[in-house]
């Protein structure tokens, strides 16, 4: 419709054009994003490579992970996460998993963070060998474990 009004009447609304451009950019960026996952003895490192080959690195110590579970969209989450990062391409057909971990903010206050990613079965098995009892649990089990840990 925006194109029709521009061609027919010669009037171009810059704000509408800008909103369409931003919407298209977000969709393309979401589809073109890639994520490389490296697992070593003490950390798991996520490298997100965006549309213009800009890389962002997220490094999570294995001792801080409290749950790796299949992601299911919910209206309200029981665990309150400070930040959630989506490190997966929407074109990848694998299932989305959530990795919950504890982190400290700049003031030293503990916070819960979450990363959405699409791992291979081999990565999940290797992660389960290194961090037993927290990988491939259900979200309900993770919530119960965190509720017990927060009470102590």
Q: Which token pair is 116?
A: 């959405």
What is the pLDDT, as a whole number, of residue 26?
Answer: 87
For residues 76 and 113, the model is more confident at: 113
| pLDDT for 1 beyond 60 | yes
pLDDT digits (tens, 9 = 90+) for 129-151: 999 888 888 888 888 888 888 77
Residue of 75, 145, 49, 67 whose CA lies nearest to 113 = 67
How many Cβ atoms from other residues are within 10 Å of residue 32's Cβ? Answer: 14
- Report phi then psi at 37, rounded to 5: -115, 125
What is the rounded CA–CA span in Å between residue 29 and residue 51?
5
Q: How confident is the model at residue 80 (pLDDT cuts 50, 70, 90)?
A: confident
What is the pLDDT, as a whole number, of residue 152?
Answer: 56
Q: Where are the domains of the chain?
A: 1-32, 61-151
Q: Which token pair is 99?
A: 């990795």
């Amino acid at each position: 419709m925006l194109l029709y009004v521009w061609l027919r009447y010669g009037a171009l609304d810059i704000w509408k054009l800008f909103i369409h451009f931003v919407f298209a950019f977000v969709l393309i960026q979401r589809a073109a994003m890639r994520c490389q996952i490296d697992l070593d003895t003490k950390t798991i490192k996520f490298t997100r490579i965006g549309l213009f080959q800009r890389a962002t690195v997220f490094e999570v110590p294995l001792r801080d992970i409290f749950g790796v579970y299949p992601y299911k969209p919910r209206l309200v989450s029981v665990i309150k996460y400070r930040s959630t990062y989506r490190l997966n391409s929407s074109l990848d057909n694998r299932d989305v998993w959530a990795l919950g971990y504890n982190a400290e903010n700049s003031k030293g206050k503990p916070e819960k963070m979450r990363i959405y990613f699409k791992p291979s079965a081999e990565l999940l098995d290797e992660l389960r060998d290194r961090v037993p009892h927290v990988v491939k649990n259900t979200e309900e089990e993770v919530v119960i474990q965190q509720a017990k840990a927060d009470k102590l």
